Structure 1
Amino acid sequence: MKRRICAVTGSRADYGLLAWTLREMLADPALELQLAVTGTHLSPDFGNTVRQIEADGIPIATRIDMQLTDDSGCAIGQALGRAVSGFAEALQQLQPDLLLVLGDRYEILAAAQAAMLQRIPIAHIHGGESTEGLIDEAVRHAVTKMAHIHCVAAEAYARRVMQMGEQPHTVHVVGAAGFDALTHTPLLDRASLEQAIDFPLGEKNFLLTLHPETLSPSDAAQQVTPLLEALQAFPEARVIITGSNADPAGRAISTLLQQHAVAHPAQFCYHESLGQARYLSLLAQVDLVIGNSSSGIIEAPAMGRAVVNIGERQRRRLRAPAIIDCASETAAIRAAIAQALTPEHQQRAAEKHTPYGKPGAAQRIVRLLRDTPLDGILQKTFFDLPMASLPAGEAT
């Protein structure tokens, strides 16, 4: 009898990381994939990216529409409630043996809650990471505590998961989930890519993705304006912009960037979502990745691209030498871009050093999904790290 795995994808970002794991699952005769699609995949405002999944030929078992009509904290909270209800019904119908989730987005928190209450074991990919500038930090660690199988990207993250009380035998270092796409996705050549994005590349090319810093008091304009001002110092560069995510202020950031691209069509172009093939093809062509996306921290350095990481969004994630961190200030961004374009830094980036392991995560994950015994897995025992004796405080 096949083991039924319900995998959850809620955005273009996690689908890009999950895609090869999903394909490996489909190819494994011992597994039955039940794909649950939710979040921004089903929103016209974010490009209806469910169409990419359909085009890839991956069957969809259920769709949970969160009705993401607004990105205020209240609206997202209400959407999260709808997602919990939707996942509860879907899981009751699908009866999976295991739920598979990736990352730190609020929609996977909804899926994990619904699975936990139906006593469905949970496998979590990319736990243990830290992004202290985001609400996602709390979501990721909450899902870790609900999960029973942990597929982490690096040894440092394995230690952090164990630090949260998870038993060592449940924690597995598999590498970054997105690296398989880097080696397996057919890339477009330059001419085909220009046609696909309807924009001519130049002598210098930048790929830009900017998401909200959800724990920062700054508004969208305060995040976007310094970046656009800094880019004025590089008029020779062509800048391809991808849309922001569904966090609070995400729509406002996307609107400002899109308006700028429309006003300056010779230098900028905007795409709400590029899809995996176009995005990775651009990574292979551009000189620099700018913004604060996790793809700039993980995938871009593995493809030999220099990266300017802006602000606090990715604070405390492991860094490759290709990455230059800077404050969200015009002068700091301008200086970081100039440094990233130097021959010395371009050579450093071209060496492709990364702390996130090698391709092959999809096969490692699928092997764990297939072979991990599930009998008794729901009963978790807290793992206490050895600690030095601490002096007890005196009661007053």
Structure 2
Amino acid sequence: MNKLKWAPALLATLAAGNTQAQSSVTLYGVIDAGIGYVHNAQGSDGKNASTLVRFSSGNTFGSRWGLKGTEDLGGGLAAVFQLENGFNDGTGTLGQGSREFGRKSVVGLASKQLGTITLGRQYDPVVDLVQAYTEDAYFGGSFASPGDLDNYDNSVRVSNSVKYVSPVLDGFQFEALYGLGGVAGSAGAGQTYGFGGSYAGGPLGAAVAFFHANGGNTTTNDVRTWTSSSDTLFNTVINQGFASAKSIQIVRAGTQYVLGSFTVGAAYSNTQYTRDGFSVFSKTAKFNNGSAFVNDQLTPAWRVGGGYNYTRLTGPASAKYHQFNLGTDYALSKRTTLYALAAYQKASGTTLNASGATVQAEASIGSYGVNSGTNSQGLIVLGMRHKF
């Protein structure tokens, strides 16, 4: 009888051990730090500063730490989760608007046959599918479009969202996302949605995706304040004149081809900021961006790359931006890498300032986030990256 009394407890212990054996939790992270030199940086007083030297975090990969895990539910189905915190390793402060898990926070179900559904704060299809075929995947945000106006360097995450990712079928994969605006009586206010597809086969890879975000109904002094389920893209002088947009729409496509030690790639995006009566600009702003890059894996440890990025604004203004980039990295080990980046950007024509007035276009390289106060800017960054 005593043995029978212990049986339920023993079975429970064995079941718990079996469940644990079929589950996993991983701690991971990246620390990316360097020193950046900027020629032409606008000072805090709004006047031009000839140079800026600063500690620079997340130059090639955003500094982060995270937890991710799976639980096998049987029948090819698994529960999945991921929590990812972004931070500035120079100051120790939180990133992504001081969110604890601002980079990613999702839970969902994954099936090898049917695909994966996740809920939470996450990336959109433009980032998930197209970014892998751009130079951002190798050397980070200094190669991005000016001001990261088309989410080239994943400045945007989507909160309160549901995402479906298909399994890979003969090299093809598809993805769709919807972010809930959460506004009573106005389902479309603040909503975000996107979809796209990719192909990878041998040396060739390509992807195309669509993204749309509504800016919400919140206004200040009769001017819209961005309150979308999507983060804002209006972070620099490149596009801050369109921060009162009713919506953002992005179409992006990218491709790359591997030929021996060389990787070549090209990408295109069309970004539109639409308006309504609460916008300070009078016409839809359209940014067309084209970029190309080439990398050479000189040795298993040493890589070099270069790229060119051209952007043109039409609609309420007519700015043009030419950007040239160089990058190199050297792997000291599988986890530790030294890198150097250099970039130059030249702006011409006109754009709008935050008040909607027409002004001369200013330079701001990639997603580095420094306004120049003039029509050109140069950048050099030396740094180190460690993964764990």
TM-score w.r.t. length of structure 1: 0.26
* Greater percentage in helix: 1
- Higher relative CO (Cα under 8 Å, sequence separation at least 6) belongs to 1
The higher radius of gyration belongs to 2
Q: Which has the higher strand share?
A: 2
